[in-house]
Structure 1
Amino acid sequence: MRPGDAGPAVSQVISLLTGLGLLEAPDGVAGPSSYDDRVELAVRAFQQQRGLTVDGRVGPSTFRRLDEARWRLGDRILTHRPGNLVAGDDVYALQSRLLDLGFTVGRLDGYFGTETEAGVREFQRNFGIPPDGTCGPATLKALARLRPLVSGGAPNAMRAEEWIRESGPHLGGKTVVVDVTSGEPILHDLAARIEGRLVAIGVQAYLTTPRWAAHPRDEAERAAFANRAGADLVVSLALDSSDNPDACGVAAYFFGDADPQTWSSAGERLAGLVQREVVARTGAVDLRCHPKTWDLLRRTRMPAVHLDAGYRTHAGDLARLEDPAHRDVLAAAVVVAVQRFYLSPDVDAATGVLDVRELRDSFEQGAGRA
């Protein structure tokens, strides 16, 4: 749906936006009946809040998120459905409440997955409710009676830091999934270079899309592939475009929306490292790191980064991306960022100077002396 459209689907979108308080008509003025400028602005505001691509149009992703946003905790019974996860603002509210009460629910993503089910079971066991993992009337009543002793403190961030420490600095044996968002030869080549460099240092690296594929599968399927592979990290590669031919530069994205509480702290760390290494080694324009809730970032259970490696619509960016030497530098930057993700501050090096092979050799020498 886009500006100028009308019909039942547009009426449904208008109703959802109105229910969210994003679309209001002044006193004495009729609300919109078609996809006019007011609706477009409301859609853009919603997309910005939810970490979606802001284009003012209602495609499948935006419509799905609008539908999720209508649910409030208590509107329905919440349970884990493998293969067809329940999603919505009510799930997010449940996750937030359990997290504030000290229970582990995984990422605050609005999906009722296995970790959220486990958190509900643990809550039920602690409060004398049959631990069936379903958030029904008894569980909702118990949640309503309780008030968190402490809120904030970023418990998920602390758990992520502990997970990184426990993973250790060595990349050998870790699994990284490398994803491409389109079938462009530049991206396939860059993904293959990253894969090759990772394999050379002992990482199990998998591509979500084979080089001969003209089009990748959809994001949800690629996220499911990464989850099945048991990946430790996901690196997704993309090229950006713009109607403005002067738009250029690189940007990195991690899971999260306008509310920092939703941010994946590990994903933010990985995105920051990738962005800084790429900018330092290539001299590209730094468009910074940003939270997004695109399906690949939201549906993966491990830290994930989406890297826009440049603009296909900018002559300078495209010329660099078509140069194999530049793609090799990009690949090196990504692999170094992956290594730095696991390093403690006392071992980490300055941005743009670390050599992964030299670091691996120093680890091996240290192990030999020990």
Structure 2
Amino acid sequence: MSQADHVLRRGALRRGDSGPRVSALRDLLLRAGVDVPGAPRPGGAGPDGTGPDGTGPDGTEELDTFGTALEQAVRAFQQARGLRADGVVGRQTSRALDGARWRLGDRVLRYVPGHLLHGDDVVALQSRLLSLGLLDDRRDGRYGPRTEAGVQELQRSCGTAADGVVGPATVDALRRLDRSVGGGDASALRDAERTAQARRRTGHVVLVHPAHGGDDPGALGHGLREADVVLDLAQRLEGRLAASGTAVVLSRGATQEPSAEDAADLADAVGADVVLALHCDALTPVRGSADPARLPASPARGVATFSWGSATSRSVEGARLAGLVHREVLARTGLADLRTHTWDTDVLRLTRMPAVRVELGYLTSPEDAAELADPAFRDRCAEALAAAVHRFFLEADQDVPTGLLPVVAAPSG
């Protein structure tokens, strides 16, 4: 079990938690180069004069307590990494912390099916392979079969054994080549070319990924479950896109709970042109302040859309699709505008095609929840999403103003 797995073995960490997992989190932040107030530094005093064990002269420093200072350090790390800066250490943040401790050359990299290595060293490797034209994928930070194929091609060109294992000799070859290669974002160029090819075809394929499902209800509020709301939205969207000749694949039914990796693999398998991940949001209270199953009303409300982006790169076509989705939803529903953002979250990072995550309202908002409970409102949301998908594949001279593209209604019955 990795240290990141240890941190999350009993669920997400947030302000108000305490215990050994919090101490492990502090260690992960330090290894990632984050300045953690009051945390001990290897072999000496802390930044404010604390001793090697992190306790100050008055004994008030608590290394196993998740307080405000630690939350601020987590938020700073999340913001720098393109993650959602909510101060909660969930799966995404924990994985990023675990990966941040690796630099290219620190360890031997190889493809192990079912146990993919991930980390900053893999991202650095993928960036260099992309610049050399040896990788046809984005920098997802996983040492998978496409990355292995790129390494093997590099090794063949250098006259070494093409075993796909990145050891000292392969790292040295990359460093020598770095001095002669540069310029451009190969990943962005590939994104644009994929969209151009899809635009020239008829019969597009859209993967719709309604979040959660199975035993995971997602966000809760005002009698609504996120998993139910987004599945209903997905089915309404499926009908509208199918009626206009677009093939739609849903990643789940009512009882399934596919992971982000499952959704990305399915998108590849069906040859999806775009991916839409549907979510609703909720303002979760600090642990211990309320029953998480009965979330209080909150002032937070509105729609936000996200495309893939990290500290070093982004999906240009994903950002364009996110903008179209966001504007259509605003024009057709009247939800509050929470803007478009980049986010280095799994379902966006792992998909090769343009992908958008849309957060359609807050279930903890009385106003948003009342709208989302209305079937007519869900129809308008589905129309907005369908219009955005259609516009994404139009040539510039064929596009229409936001909110005016007619959408074929789903067949009745």
TM-score, normalisation: structure 2? 0.78
1:354, distance to aligned residue in structure 2 (A): 1.6
Question: Percent of aligned pairs with the same residue?
Answer: 47
Deviations 1:108-146 (A, max 9, x none): 121122332222223223322333332222211111222
Question: CA RMSD for the aligned pairs?
Answer: 2.4
* 8 Å CA contact retained: 2:303, 2:335: yes
Please give the residue correspondences for 1:135-146 in structure 2 after superposition, counting only pairs within 5 Å. 135-146=166-177
Q: Is 83-92 or 127-136 further displaced after alignment?
A: 127-136
Distance 2:275 2:114 in 1: 21
2:356 is paired with a residue whose SS is: strand
Instruction: Specify the alignment match of 1:272 in structure 2.
Output: 323
State the shift of 1:75 in Å. 1.2
1:12 alignment counterpart: 24
Q: Does 1:355 align with 2:411?
A: no
Please list, as runs of the form range in 1=range in 2, the aligned pairs for 1:210-249 lying within 5 A after superposition.
210=253, 212-213=254-255, 216-242=257-283, 245-249=298-302
Q: Which runs of 5+ in 2 are unaligned?
A: 1-12, 37-45, 55-61, 214-224, 285-296
Cα distance between partner residues in 2 of 1:294 and 1:303:
14
Q: Which of residues 328, 344, 360 in structure 1 aligns to 2:379?
A: 328
Match of 1:48 among 66, 79, 82: 79
* Aligned mates of 2:269, 2:190 — CA distance in 1: 22
Displacement after TM superposition at 1:357 (Å): 5.2
Which consecutive aligned stretches of 4+ in structure 1 deviate over 6 angstroms post-superposition?
none
What is the Cα deviation at residue 105 of structure 1?
4.5
**How much has 1:72 moved relative to structure 2?**
0.8
Q: Is the 8 A contact 1:73 1:93 kept in 2?
A: yes
Query: Which is further off, 69-78 or 321-330?
Result: 321-330
2:209 equivalent to 1:179: yes
Please name the residue that 1:190 is paired with. 233
Q: Partner amino acid for 2:347?
A: L
Match of 1:255 among 282, 285, 308: 308
Superimposed CA distance per residue, residues 318-343 of structure 1 (whole angstroms, 9 cap, x where no aligned partner): 22222222211211111111122222
Q: Any conservation in 1 of the 2:21–2:64 contact (CA below 8 Å)?
A: no
Aligned residue identity for 2:374: D
In 2, the alpha carbon distance for the partners of 1:344 and 1:305 equals 20
CA spacing shift, 1:280–1:245, aligned 2, 3 Å: same
Structure 1 residue 88: Cα displacement: 0.5
Task: Find the aligned partners of 1:5 and 1:313 in 2 and give their Cα distance.
Answer: 23
- Kept in 1, the 8 Å contact 2:152–2:163? The answer is yes
Secondary structure at 1:346 match in 2: helix
Question: 2-side partners of 1:128 and 1:322: how far apart?
Answer: 63
Q: Is the 8 A contact 2:237 2:383 kept in 1?
A: yes
Secondary structure, in 3 states, of the residue corresponding to 1:252?
A: strand
Q: Is the 8 A contact 1:238 1:306 kept in 2?
A: yes
1:267–1:303 CA contact under 8 A, matched in 2: yes
**Counterpart in the other structure of 2:104:** 73
**Separation in 2 of the partners of 1:150 and 1:350?**
42
* Residue in structure 1 matching 2:252, options 206, 209, 218: 209
Distance in 1 of aligned mates of 2:139 and 2:339: 23
Structure 1 residues 221-251: Cα deviation after superposition (integer angstroms, max 9, x where no partner): 3333333333222111111122672222111
> Any conservation in 2 of the 1:171–1:339 contact (CA below 8 Å)?
no
Q: What is the count of residue pairs matched by the alignment?
A: 353
Partners of 2:20 and 2:85 lie apart in 1 by 23
Per-residue CA distance 1:155-208 (angstroms, 9 max, x = gap):
211221111111125551x22121212453332221111011121122221212
Contact 1:180 1:216 in 2 (8 A): no
